[in-house]
Amino acid sequence: MIKAKRVKHLRVALIAVGVIFIVGIYSLIIIWPSGWSWHSGSSRSLPHYLQMILGVYATLGIFLLIASRNPLANLSLIWFTVWSSVVHAGIMAAQALANPEHMGHLWGDVPALLIVAAVLALLTPRTAASVPAMRGFGKTVTANTVR
């Protein structure tokens, strides 16, 4: 894929993931609790841990939306999203396998996080130097200006 086109696709992916993290996770918890929520009972009364997770992911979503304006200046945030998603999915998969009542997560949030990680990893340049100069925030960003 041509590098400039790859960054364009990365921008779209960052917007999609950002919006999903802001509103999608909560929506999926309400629609499909067994695949997205780690508690029993009504999904309308959110336990404290779930409120914290939603807050962290919503915050990350906002920053991914901001990063979509200039992905090359935000490579560390993007790679944090990739690797934290892999780690989170791995922990949840192990917990689901150890606790049969949570097997729905192997079809819900576990693969979703791995898909997020894979898409962002495939589209994200390994270094800013591997991408030609781009315009962002009213100035030209090159490999020399992105550290």
Query: pTM score > 0.75 for this model?
Result: yes
**Region for 14 from its dihedrals, namely left if φ exceeds 0, alpha if ψ lies in -120 to 50, beta otherwise:** alpha
Spell out the residues 6+ positions from residue 87 whose beta carbon is closer than 8 angstroms to its own: none
Residue 85 predicted with pLDDT over 50: yes
Residue type, 20: I
CA distance 82 to 120: 6
Q: How far apart are the first and last CA of the chain?
A: 24
Give tens-digit pLDDT for 24-33. Answer: 888 887 877 6
Cβ count near 117 (within 10 Å): 20
| pLDDT of res. 20 | 94
Kindly report, residue by residue over 49-63, the tens digit of the pLDDT: 888 888 999 999 999
